[in-house]
Amino acid sequence: MFWGSFSFSVVASLPPVEGMMNLCKYIDLIERKAVPDMKKAFNDGGGKFQDLVPCLSSEKMKTIFRKQN
């Protein structure tokens, strides 16, 4: 499986995900790929992250998102 992201102006990295996605893999993916991609695409901080993955509602993920703005 691959996880990808895009915006109106940028197609970001397409990292592979081995096995089933879980919270630990998702956190690693967000910190390693999504955050840097978002900072590169929206260096003014204006971007919004949206994903429909159920693990996003966990308190751990909410803390990570708050920390990264």
Nearest in space to 53 (alpha carbons), one of 33, 35, 29: 29
Residue 37 contacts residue 4 (beta carbons within 8 Å): no
In tens, the pLDDT along 11-35 reads 777 888 888 888 888 888 888 888 8
Report residue 10's pLDDT band, with 50, 70 and 90 as the boundaries.
Answer: confident
For the question of whether the overall pTM of this predicted structure is more than 0.75, the answer is no
